[in-house]
Amino acid sequence: RINTGATGEAAAQGVLVLASDRTRHTGVAGSIALGGIAGVGAGIDVGVIVKHTHAWIAAGAQVQAQADVQVQAWSEERVVSVAAAGGGGLNVGIAGAVDVYVMTLDTQAWIAGAATVGGTAYSAASVAAGGSVQVAAEGHNEVDAISGSIAAGGTAGIGGAIAVPVV
């Protein structure tokens, strides 16, 4: 129970349920390989981000406000990943760079309906507002994946690079 049975509330009385998460990540991987006959280099940057950002009013809850009731979930992810490699040898130079990021992101806001938890039944949440009721969820994601390689050899230079963001 939130604000139920209270008296003399201010006209600006409101309820805010907020879940917020911000992630900033920078990953850098690299290598340089030089050899008399062959130089082999690899740079690999791999990351996994799993986030659940939830804001809710649960089943069975009773919420009242003279003004607004807000249920908000906000999530922001910013990833910068760099993978680079270089390889050089008198005969052969081989270099590879791999950049892989897997992001599982879940941002939700809700007011719950009826539910049964552990054998106990709860009615749907009750929300009464003198102003507005807002339920909002928003996520912002940005991934900058940079991958590159350079290879040189007297006979052959073999280089490759790949960047794979999975959101």
Q: What are the φ and ψ backbone dihedral angles of 148, each rounded to 5 degrees?
A: -160, 160
Q: What is the C-alpha to C-alpha distance for residues 12 and 54, in angstroms, rounded to an integer?
A: 26
For residues 6 and 65, give the distance between their C-alpha atoms in angstroms, rounded to a whole number: 10
**What's residue 7's pLDDT?**
77
Mean pLDDT on 109-135:
94
Asked if the model's pLDDT at residue 2 lies above 90, the reply is no
Residue 161 DSSP SS3: strand
Distances (CA, A) of 142 to 48, 110, 113: 14, 25, 34
How many Å apart are CA 53 and CA 108, to the nearest integer?
6
> Is the pLDDT confidence value at 50 over 90?
yes
Is the overall model pTM greater than 0.85, yes or no? no
Please check whether residue 147 is in contact with residue 163, taking contact to mean a CB–CB distance below 8 angstroms.
yes
Q: How confident is the model at residue 28 (pLDDT cuts 50, 70, 90)?
A: very high
